[in-house]
Structure 1
Amino acid sequence: MSEPVRRSRPARSTARHGRLRKSTAGRTIARFLSAALAVVLVSGSAIAAYAVWDIASSVAPSVTLANETAGSAPDIDAIEGGVNLLLVGSDSRQGQDAVFGDDAKDSATLNDVTMLLHISEDHTAATVVSFPRDMFVPIPSCPRENGGTYDAMAAQKINTTLSYGGLACTVLTVEKLTGLSIPFAAEVQFGGVIELSNAVGGVDVCVAEPINDWRTETYLDAGVHTLQGKEAIQFLRTRHGVGDGSDLGRISNQQVFLSSLVRTLKSSETLTDPGKLFGIAKAAASNMTLSTSLSNLNTMVSIAMALKNIPLDQVVFVQYPTEYGDINGYEGVLPLKTPAAQLFDALAADEPLTLSGDTGPGSVVDPNAPVDDAPADDTPQTEDPEAPKTDATPPGVVLDKAVQGQTAGDYTCSKGND
């Protein structure tokens, strides 16, 4: 592999993530009407008037992705067909609470979290793939915000893509890496995670051993904690406090949170609570930079509805398989191409996935996980030699052990690194 290209980073500007589409009266009215319809359906007339105004006025300018096509937003129903959506977590401090650092001093904009959501064509399965921030990947030529393009690079860490070409460049890089087309994308900063965790009323996480991380001010005793607000974002940021202190440990720790979040969102209490549904919509609209294709509230609601009926054991969280290594003296992690190809070929074919690896260095199986209360059948079983043989092999694709992760139906605990 060639030596990572060194070059100066582009000067910072107020808006730098792809091409910003200027707001027009027509777009504002369309968003207003979309918000009106969604809110009437989920919250009733009592709060609709205020909610419509509040959501429509808080939608941020959107980013146009390279492969987006113009079209009308879907009706408020589960979106038709499959979905590929990239969620990027930015470490930028600009406009964020001072507790996260000095926005002038901490001026780098890196995508420290990069996750791809894939929903199958028939809406029977969903997979979330986390890409380690220190993984060396080829970066394609990306558009500059002021015209022209950045040169392609043979090997750079994936978390630099947000600096080179904004959200659109991160999408292009993940498309090249996975072979999947990604028409939807969103970028969220620290404040957005705080607002989203508040909107769902907090997320219960299990901690197996104490977490003590002064860097992120994360101090949690062993046990179950309901996290929201600052506690939630600090838990998701902690690296030194969990597992082996690596970013790979942080990913599996984040999956503890995410699997619990899915269980919370799919609970009847959450799905039928108009206040929470409105709060989630408002948090998403006001605290994220969205691709143009995702900026209409109808689309966001439609994607969420596609997840509603997927069984928990078919909501799979995985980490892109890697191994530790370096490129010309630059330390990081290197992609394991064979197990990765198996994973993304399966996603492209919408094959159901079965995990064979462990949950990763930042988490362990919850010893107090709920169990099936059905009584065991103690009747002695005898094999009928005439009975047809059944195939005990799980359906779909059994992923290589190098692909670590868990399902939303797996109860896990964070593995503290005290």
Structure 2
Amino acid sequence: MSDLRPRTRAARRAAERRAGIARHGRLPRSRPWKSILAVLATCLAVVSVSGASLAAIAVRGITDNIETVQLIEETPGPPPNIAAMDGGFNIFIAGSDTRKDQGYAGDTDTALNDVNLLLHVSQDHSNAVAVSIPRDLVIPFPACPKEDGNGSYSAASGLPINSALSRGGLPCAVLAVEELTGLDIQFAGMITFQGVIEMSNAVGGVPVCVNDAIRDPYTGLDLPEAGTYNLAGAEALAFLRSRHGVGDGSDLGRISSQQVYLSSLVRTLKSGETLGDLGKVYGIASAATRNMTLSSSLGSLDTMAAIAMALKDIPLEKVTFVQYPGTTGLGGMYEGKVAPITAQADALFDYIRSDQPFALDENALRAGAVADPNAPVTETPPPAAPTDPSAPADPSAPAADPNAAGVQTLSGVKGQTAADYTCSQAN
């Protein structure tokens, strides 16, 4: 993949870091509450897929809930035109583990971004890729201005990405992901774990398949046998937080398990039972915005509606969830953390930066997810009848998909599409 768009903000900052620009900083304190709130990363999709209906309900009541923050190098002005964005657009969602105003006792001064999800939507709005970045992935950190405006934290290496919120809030998290991926991020949001509870209740629960009993005393999850459970409220949060109960007990296995939930959530949201129920639509959007902080670029109703229209018609098989390639078990600064698999990450982001669709290989599922043996059977269409090459073309026939034959397979990257029915694998 050599025909790539030039890197802009991310490239400039990477060059500055290589040149040795640094400021003073401090290490964030570790926290015992390590919630994994992957569902929060779908909050914009929740609002977006129901965007057409939002115009018919109390939109003002929803937008009044929104709190905004300005990203680094983000300038005031009219809402951006997503149709004019070369190479598509990118949305970053951080799930915060903050306890502030969440009804939990304990320290409320700092927060960790324990969910990091980057959503890329292609320029022609025909496909989307959601990349889950492990919270313990060790990255080179950029210098980040402090949230209170009093100075900056210095650039640093050897820190996990979930340090970003404590180093400079949502703007710092966006800056870190831009440098990691080489992508410019136009829109961003941060949401609390309370949003998982409220949103899962608003959608009416999410059906999740498990291949065996899952009991995790660390999160309180108790699913007594194999089968499909409709998860909502605190139970949905416990499922998404569960690491010891699923896969191989690692954070990477947990991400695969979370993608089981996310894929089912997308299918639920796109179903007529959800979008056809204005009460549910309003409840989902209201729950999301009550628990969100958005970038200024995303705080406009016009922008939300434009993103809604871009997302709502993407087919399930073209919504792909992947993990940022990483591995555990290494020493040094990666002790107890996740180290990047650079070659695989470069291949993944070559596709994304060049806005090219790709397919995952047959071994894409990681420990944490398995194929659902009871998945709906998709009927294979009968072969097309041979055509007479001398016959005139049918002007009413659908146009051929120019990308269908050119989609390449990306090997080694783990994940699934929203059309894939999978089960969370018990540990």
In which range does the TM-score fall when normalised by the shorter chain?
A: 0.7 to 0.9
Which residue identity lines up with residue 92 of structure 1 in the other structure? T
Q: Which residue of 1 aligns with 2:425?
A: 415
Change (3 A) 1:273 1:135: same
Match status 1:59 vs 2:59: no
Aligned position for 2:346? 341
- Contact 1:112 1:133 (8 Å CA) reproduced: yes
Q: CA deviation at 1:308?
A: 1.4
Amino acid at match of 2:26: R
Asked if 1:68 is matched to 2:97, the reply is: no
Could you tell me how far apart the structure 2 residues matched to 1:277 and 1:72 are?
A: 27
Give the match for residue 171 of structure 2.
168
Q: Give the match for residue 382 of structure 1.
A: none
CA distance in 1, matches of 2:335, 2:368: 24
Normalising by structure 1, what TM-score?
0.80
2:324 is equivalent to residue 320 of structure 1:
yes
- Does residue 1:295 correspond to 2:302, yes or no? no
Pick the aligned partner of 2:214 from 196, 203, 211.
Answer: 211
Q: Please identify, of 222-231 and 175-184, the stretch whose mean Cα deviation from structure 2 is larger.
A: 222-231
1:138, 1:342 → 2: CA distance?
Answer: 19
Q: Kindly tell me: are residues 179 and 40 of structure 1, through their superposed partners in 2, closer, same or farther at Cα, counting changes over 3 Å?
A: closer
Structure 2 partner of 1:26: none
Distance 1:394 1:322 in 2: 30
1:125 aligns with 2:127: yes
Question: Unpaired runs of 5+ in structure 2?
Answer: 1-23, 30-46, 384-403
- Distance in structure 2 (CA, Å) of the matches to 1:269 and 1:303: 22
The change in CA–CA distance for 1:107 and 1:73 in structure 2 (over 3 A counts) is closer
Contact 2:80 2:297 survives alignment (8 Å): no
CA contact 2:246–2:424 (8 Å) conserved in 1: yes
> What do the CA deviations read for 1:179-223 (whole angstroms, capped 9, x no partner)?
000011111111111122122221111111111001111111311
Q: Return the alpha-carbon distance in structure 2 between the equivalents of residues 56 and 329 of structure 1.
A: 42
Change (3 A) 1:40 1:159: closer
Q: Partner residue of 2:152?
A: 149
Deviation at 1:44, TM superposition (A): 7.3
Cα distance change, pair 359–192 in 1 and its aligned pair in 2 (3 A): same
Deviation for aligned residue 1:307: 1.3
Relative to structure 1, the CA distance from residue 252 to residue 40 in structure 2 (aligned partners, 3 Å threshold; closer, same or farther) is closer
Whether contact under 8 Å (1:354, 1:398) holds in the other structure is: yes
Q: Percent identity?
A: 51
Distance 2:334 2:84 in 1: 47
Q: Which amino acid aligns with 1:223?
A: G
CA–CA distance in 1 between the matches of 2:77 and 2:378? 46
Query: How big is the shift at 1:55?
Result: 1.9
Task: State the Cα distance separating 1:40 from its structure 2 match.
Answer: 11
Specify every segment of 5 or more residues in structure 1 that has no aligned partner in the other structure, as ranges.
11-34, 378-392
Number of equivalent positions: 361
Structure 2 equivalent of residue 14 of structure 1 = none
SS at match of 1:94: coil
Q: How does 1:2-401 map to 2 (within 5 A)?
A: 7-9=26-28, 42=53, 48=57, 51-60=58-67, 62-73=68-79, 81=85, 82-98=88-104, 102-104=105-107, 108-147=110-149, 148-220=151-223, 221-324=225-328, 325-328=330-333, 330-356=335-361, 357-374=363-380, 395-401=406-412
1:404 is aligned to 2:408? no
Going from structure 1 to structure 2, the CA distance change for 1:135 and 1:44 (only over 3 Å counts) comes to: closer
Report if the CA contact (8 A) 1:135-1:158 is conserved: yes
* Partner amino acid, structure 1, of 2:199: L
Q: Residue 327 of structure 2 aligns to which amino acid in structure 1?
A: E
Q: Is the 8 A contact 1:89 1:112 kept in 2?
A: yes
| Structure 1 residue 41, shift from structure 2 partner | 6.0
Match of 2:14 in 1: none
1:90–1:188 contact (8 Å) kept in structure 2: yes
Residues 219-244 of structure 1: per-residue CA shift (max 9 Å, x gap): 11311111111111111111111011
Query: Is 1:79–1:305's contact at 8 Å kept on the other side of the alignment?
Result: no
Deviations 1:297-335 (A, max 9, x none): 332232122111111111000001112223347321111
Matched residues in 2 for 1:153 and 1:69: separation?
26
Q: Which digits, 9 at most, give the CA deviation of each residue in 1:27-82, with x for residues without a partner?
A: xxxxxxxx9xx99962676xx4xx2453243222x11111423332379xx86542
Question: How much is the aligned-residue C-alpha RMSD, in angstroms?
Answer: 2.7
Matched-pair contact (CA < 8 Å) for 1:313–1:407: yes
Which runs of 4 or more aligned residues in structure 1 lie more than 3 Å from their structure 2 counterparts after TM superposition? 5-10, 38-41, 78-81, 373-377
Shift in Å, 1:372: 1.9
- Secondary structure of residue in 1 paired with 2:183: coil
Q: What is the CA–CA distance in structure 1 between the aligned matches of 2:157 and 2:322, rounded to whole Å? A: 25
